[in-house]
A = this chain, B = another copy of it.
Amino acid sequence: MSLRGLGADPRCRCIETESRRIGKYIESVELFPPSPHCKDTEIIATLKISGKEICLDPTAPWVKKVIDKIIANKSP
């Protein structure tokens, strides 16, 4: 089941978030700031190989670390 709705949906995309540290399986990460459609930031990772999209918890320290690593030009 995909946890991501269509981009045009006037509501939040994420229903639940992944608690396991899946950093090394991440191919890319998309960040959606708070908007009229969703009051909280949403972070959606696309996984390598499967291309599956997984919602991550913006308040989880490991998620922040993964993003900091990517910005620092390292693999997550």
Contacts and interface: CB of A to CB of B under 8 A. Distances in A.
B41 A71 contact: yes
Contact of A71 (B27, B67, B69): B67
A74 B72 CA distance: 22
Given A26-B33, A28-B32, A76-B33, A58 B41 contact: no
Contact of A35 (B27, B30, B41, B69): B27
Secondary structure at the A interface, as helix, strand, loop or mixed, is mixed
Interface residues of A, number: 25
9 contacts: A31-B67, A31-B70, A31-B71, A32-B70, A33-B70, A33-B75, A34-B75, A41-B70, A43-B71
